[in-house]
Structure 1
Amino acid sequence: MKILLHSHFPAGHAYPMQAVAQELVRRGHDVVWLTSADNEARVRMTGAAFVATEAIAVVDAPLMAENETGLLDGVHSRLVSRVIAQVSDYRRVLRDFAADALLVDVLPHGARALYELGEIPVYATLGVIPMYMSSWGAPQAVSGKAPSSSTLSLIWNHLRHLFRQWVLFPLFLQPVINNQRRALGLANLPYGEPMESFTYSPFLHIQASSPSLEFRQRPKPTQQRRHTYHVGPLVTSVITTPNQLPAWWGDAVNHPKVVGITQGTLAMDPTSLIVPAIQALADNPELLLVVASPHSDEIRARVGDLPNVRFVKWIPYHLFLPQLSLLITNGGYGSITQALSHKVPLICAGQTEDKKDTAARVNWAGAGIDLKTDNPSTNQIRNAAEKILADDGYKESAARLGDELNKLGGQGRASELLEQLVRAGHARSTF
């Protein structure tokens, strides 16, 4: 089959799509991946054909300059020309590539428009950030909260969902999208659509996590609820040779208590988390700290050479994570799900974008501690680390989540679901 992929520009969005692309190519499918120019190498290594965004790149340029994703800030004006730009770039690819399906990771408004115009057979969505739903107990987006156990709080939460659905979206979000839909010759969106209708495909949504990490909530609309599947982490297969590993790698393999410290792909100022984490734990001789950061030279210059700290600019997570007793991170969704798939408990310290919601999920599941700040103190980190390392409950919860995540099939299952979607579409078209 022929599959067109489109991923948002940040590396954290490219990595899971990369795993899906690699698996689709391995299965013999013809894959074209549309994404930003700086993701070209990631595309090429999968065997997919790379196409750089053009119209979308113009829309994304201000976000890239501000080091933001533009997904959860509520600034609907960022969508003023995005739908038209998406349709323009998709059409440019589709002129020479008759895709059987389009898979997008976020902001599927252009995919929906193109489907309604009859220019693609079907589209699917890939969830690489926390899943945001409007069902009764689902927390508000970017709240950093878990479902409440209070009846009064649940009622208030439900009313807030209804207010967004029937007042805020029709007043502020729908007009921005509808203006572009009318320019494309489409009707306005139906009044009062819930959040999920703006975010997830009604035909297939693939969520790169597990039900337990999404509070065991389900989408509100029947179509999305019926066609949402959790597949666990999406991880690209990488061949690693011994010369790619640091000279001290044996220390990490043989040490009984290794603590990993890392800080994601967008918010990368090492003084916010990495430096205080080193300062908090470096004086504990029972621990070996492994700091994975492209800023490792700068960090080493700041903290000095410490006997129980090792630095590396890059290390394959499939080798790194199994060595850890604890991971300290600012809480990117992909890093969290991968760590839990290796049964590693977590300390999360991130409040930007979706990170506070990811941390809330880890905390709710009992697999780690949410510090609820971007800039934790050394005491906060030390106390949280001591608590997790002394309490087997965190490790046991992480192990349960790991077992759940690892049973869901990853990119293999994601590819199967896409194949089923295309087959179902071909079957419908024969009648």
Structure 2
Amino acid sequence: MRVLHLNNSGFGHVIPSLGVVEELVRRGHEVTYVTAAGPVAKVEATGATVLPYESRLPGIDLSEYNTADETAALTGIYLTESEEILKAVDKHYEGVPDVISYDLTVYHAARVLGRQWDVPLAQCLPVFASNEHFSLLEKMVEKMGRAELTHPELQSFFRRLTALLADRGQADTDLEDFIGRTEDLNLVYFPRAFQFAGDTFDDRFVFVGPGLAADPTAWTPPADDKPLLFVSLGTCVNRRAGFFRACVDAFRDQPWNVVMAVHEGVDRAELGPIPSNVEVHGWLPNLDVLAHTTVFLSHAGLGSVMGALSREVPLVVVPSSPEDWVNARRVAELGLGKVIRDELPPPARLRAAVLEVDRDKRTRERVARMRADIEASGGGAAGADALEAHAAKRGR
């Protein structure tokens, strides 16, 4: 089976997909993975063939996109990613795949190619799935407000998408269907139990759990037996020196070890003096660190949340983006940790939240149950099974 997987260049979108990709390669399938920049090496480690494209995302600070006006611009940004993906595929991909799997952010490229080649599509979701009972967009709108369809950024997006479809010989495409359709297969990278209204999603949605591919980055845990706080704000919305400084101050001279993954855009000097119980790193193998972690302090990105829950680690989350706020709400509803509703909480508040979660036995029990749900979801094997069955329908 030939699989063409399309994704953007964000770690938070690529990493959840790697478990399925790794399993497809293990089964002997030919997987070509379109991505760019930092994630390329991690995709190559699965054995898939990387087809790179010119991504604009590495130069964009997604922490600046939080209001309705700001997020309206994301429609054009991700359309640009799809346009560049199409250029790369047109130039370098030979033949026709049996199935196209794709990250939801680059649906434009996938749906154009799906029609061009008449091959089945599978959408991949590292975020909450949506149906008539739950809408991720509507939940985000509650936080950020709504951009009207007459917004200049949205009007520009519609014009550009219409022109792209015309250029590809697909001018007769219905835009509403093209943008809003639900694929016959949707791989969701977390367990059904974590999904809002999970029991309302039909068999087009396969909840495979998170992709937990190994990371070869070396890290040595502290030698003592103190509890460990792992702090990470993910790979996109993380240029927050003040937050990391507050974490250092919160646990300075405390009987805890603190391990922080700090974005390269943060000047380490802004963190102040680093005490001996705090480690500051640029990149860490999250799952390895989480295996030794007592409490995880995070921005509530779903990849980070799933990584923690897969290692049975309770959460303290400090969301900033509209999407993170939705994730944090689910963490709170399920009793998997504590939400701090201040993007820059004072050190005393951070410390109190971490200590409260650490002492809460019921939270740990609920986290243990969610870990069992993750393990029961099937992971990469379940995703590979679904893609094989989906591709087989083409020949019937």
Secondary structure (helix, strand or coil) at the match of 1:335 reads helix
Displacement of 1:297 in angstroms is 10
The equivalent of 1:207 in structure 2 is 188
The equivalent of 1:237 in structure 2 is 214
Q: What are the residue-to-residue correspondences of 1:64-79 with 2, within 5 Å?
A: 64-68=58-62, 73-75=71-73, 76-78=75-77
Whole-angstrom CA distance in 2 between matches of 1:304 and 1:270? 17
Q: What are the residue-to-residue correspondences of 1:360-399 with 2, within 5 Å?
A: 360-399=329-368
Secondary structure (helix, strand or coil) at the match of 1:323 reads coil
Q: In the alignment, is the contact (CA less than 8 A) between 1:212 and 1:365 conserved in 2?
A: no
The equivalent of 1:151 in structure 2 is none
Displacement of 1:404 in angstroms is 0.8
Q: Deviations over 1:296-344 (max 9, x none)?
A: 9964883434243344444433322122221001222211101011121
Whole-angstrom CA distance in 2 between matches of 1:376 and 1:227? 41
Whole-angstrom CA distance in 1 between matches of 2:364 and 2:90? 49
Displacement of 1:124 in angstroms is 1.0
Q: In the alignment, is the contact (CA less than 8 A) between 1:363 and 1:369 conserved in 2?
A: yes
Secondary structure (helix, strand or coil) at the match of 1:99 reads coil
The equivalent of 2:203 in structure 1 is 226
The equivalent of 2:168 in structure 1 is 184
Q: In the alignment, is the contact (CA less than 8 A) between 1:206 and 1:414 conserved in 2?
A: yes
The equivalent of 2:119 in structure 1 is 121
Distance 1:218 1:65, change over 3 A: farther
| Number of positions where the alignment pairs a residue of Structure 1 with one of Structure 2 | 385
The equivalent of 1:112 in structure 2 is 111
Whole-angstrom CA distance in 1 between matches of 2:189 and 2:229? 25
Q: Which runs of 5+ in 1 are unaligned?
A: 146-156
Q: In the alignment, is the contact (CA less than 8 A) between 2:229 and 2:259 conserved in 1?
A: yes
Whole-angstrom CA distance in 2 between matches of 1:82 and 1:306? 42
Distance 1:259 1:90, change over 3 A: same
Secondary structure (helix, strand or coil) at the match of 2:223 reads helix
Secondary structure (helix, strand or coil) at the match of 1:347 reads strand
Q: Which runs of 5+ in 2 are unaligned?
A: none
Q: Cα RMSD (Å) of the superposition?
A: 3.3
TM-score (norm 2): 0.84
Q: Deviations over 1:128-158 (max 9, x none)?
A: 1333x2523545242577xxxxxxxxxxx9x
Q: 1:267 aligns with which of 222, 231, 237?
A: 237
Whole-angstrom CA distance in 1 between matches of 2:80 and 2:264? 36
Identity of aligned residues (%): 21
Displacement of 1:270 in angstroms is 4.8
Whole-angstrom CA distance in 2 between matches of 1:414 and 1:80? 26
TM-score (norm 1): 0.78
Q: 2:321 aligns with which of 352, 357, 361?
A: 352
Distance 1:306 1:199, change over 3 A: farther
Distance 1:271 1:191, change over 3 A: closer
Higher relative contact order (CA closer than 8 Å, sequence separation 6+): 2
Code of the residue aligned with 2:286 in structure 1: it is Y
Alignment of 1:36 with 2:30, yes or no, is no
Q: 1:281 aligns with which of 251, 268, 271?
A: 251
Distance 1:237 1:138, change over 3 A: same
Displacement of 1:269 in angstroms is 2.6
Q: Deviations over 1:205-228 (max 9, x none)?
A: 101012232213467xxxx84311
Q: In the alignment, is the contact (CA less than 8 A) between 2:208 and 2:383 conserved in 1?
A: yes
Q: In the alignment, is the contact (CA less than 8 A) between 1:208 and 1:231 conserved in 2?
A: yes
Whole-angstrom CA distance in 1 between matches of 2:215 and 2:375? 18
